[in-house]
Amino acid sequence: MFQFKIIISTIIFLILLIITSMIKNQTRMIEKKIHKLNKKISLKEKDINESQLDFHFLTSPEQIEKKVKTLGQNNYLPIKNSKIFLSFSNFSDIKKNISAFKKIDEKKIKKN
């Protein structure tokens, strides 16, 4: 009876041992994947960091002015302040107002 118990417990222990080693192995595989992904993320972060730096350098007023000059224009194009819209809603509001004014004008002309 005693031997039987030992055998059973040994078998259970062995099964657990095997399962543990399997889980450990799988964890190791996942960790490897995580490690690879971390490496990729790290490289991407580095790329983004440097790309942003490049972007801000290339879009600095000095660089833009240089580009404008190389494109054959001596200065920035002046834009009427009324043509600058701060947002699309701002643009659509102004357009609506203009069309409303036009209609009023047309009515006035017709009346006359």
Partner 1 sequence: MKKKSKKIKNLNQTSFYFEDYLETNKKNKFSKKKNNFQDRIYLLFFFFLSLVLIFSIKITHLSLSKTISFNQEIAPSKFTLIRRDIVDRNGVLISRNVHSHHAAVNPKLIKDKKNFLIKLRLNFPELSTHEIKKKLNKKKYFYLKKRIDQSEKEKFWSLGEKGIIFEPFQARMYTHGNLFSHIIGQVDYDNYGISGVEKYFDKELKDKKILKKPLKLTLDSNIQYIVSKELNEAIKTFDATGGGALLMDVNSGDILSLVSLPNFNINKRLAIRDKKFTNKLTKGVYELGSIFKTFTIALAIENNLVESQTIIKNIPRSLKCSIHKISDMKEHPSNLSVEEILIRSSNVGSVILAKKIGELKFKEFIENAKLLKSPELEIEEVGVPHKIKWNKCKLETVSFGHGITTTPVQAASVYSAIVNGGNLIKPSLIKDRKSIESKKLVSTETSKKINSILRKVVSSENGTAHFADRHGYHVGGKTGTAEGYGNEKDKINTFISVFPTIKPKYTLLVMLENPQINKELIYEYRGVKTKAPYNTSGWNSVYVAGKIIDRIGPILAINNNEFTDQYVVEKFN
Q: How far apart are CA 86 and CA 53, in angstroms?
A: 26
Q: Is 66 in the site for partner 1 (CB under 8 A)?
A: no
Number of C-alpha atoms within 13 angstroms, CB side, residue 109?
Answer: 6
Q: Is 26 in the site for partner 1 (CB under 8 A)?
A: no
Block residue for tokens 């240089």: 66
Q: Which C-beta is closer to partner 1: that of 22 or that of 107?
A: 22
Q: Is 73 in the site for partner 1 (CB under 8 A)?
A: no
- Identity of residue 48: I
Going by C-beta distance under 8 Å and a sequence separation of 6 or more, which residues neighbour residue 68? 75, 76
Q: Is 53 in the site for partner 1 (CB under 8 A)?
A: yes
Q: Which residues bind partner 1 (CB under 8 A)?
A: 10, 13-14, 17, 20-21, 24, 27-28, 31-32, 35, 38-39, 41-42, 45-46, 49-50, 52-53, 56-57, 60-62, 80-82, 84, 86
